[in-house]
Chains A and B, each alone.
Chain A
Amino acid sequence: AQKVTQAQTEISVVEKEDVTLDCVYETRDTTYYLFWYKQPPSGELVFLIRRNSFDEQNEISGRYSWNFQKSTSSFNFTITASQVVDSAVYFCALSEAEGGADGLTFGKGTHLIIQP
């Protein structure tokens, strides 16, 4: 079973629209971290945010906001007033205490297309 599910494979919106990217995770750990990374067409991975399992406060950074809800095991990402430069693949990732690697488990990503 997938540990990180990003059900939206591709989303296309017109510039200035708001868009929400969904992320659902699965873990048995009580201590874990969730991440969002952006992968623009150039291919590099850009860190956006990290949230630990004990902090359910929503976070806003400019046009970006994140909604973490443990009750639904979700960590959704909203872009307000989208811009063409937001076009990218966005990955949600999980880091768990168990397993030893402390590596990240990634979802399959959501390809966001912002049309001018």
Chain B
Amino acid sequence: GAGVSQSPRYKVAKRGQDVALRCDPISGHVSLFWYQQALGQGPEFLTYFQNEAQLDKSGLPSDRFFAERPEGSVSTLKIQRTQQEDSAVYLCASSQGQKNEKLFFGSGTQLSVL
């Protein structure tokens, strides 16, 4: 595709529900990042993939959060037993993989947990 695509754009979940957020990076992009952004704040790092390898998951807030990228392309961020504090915008970004390269961001998924 032309850009990074995230779905759904909006997700409302009841507390305790499981949710899955999808990220379709730009074709051929090796690197894929997930960030969590609270309203009025900067993006907080969650996890990072290079191809299918998850190189860093130090930002995942708890073991309720899980991310995968099994074929090195599409990635899914799963949140189990959602809590109200999980409400945020989840941003996905990709790049070709060079260290000095800019990230291309998707429009994000806005998750609201009621």
The answer to whether A and B come from one shared complex is no
Chain B residues near A (Cβ < 8 Å): none
Interface residue ranges, A against B (CB under 8 Å): none
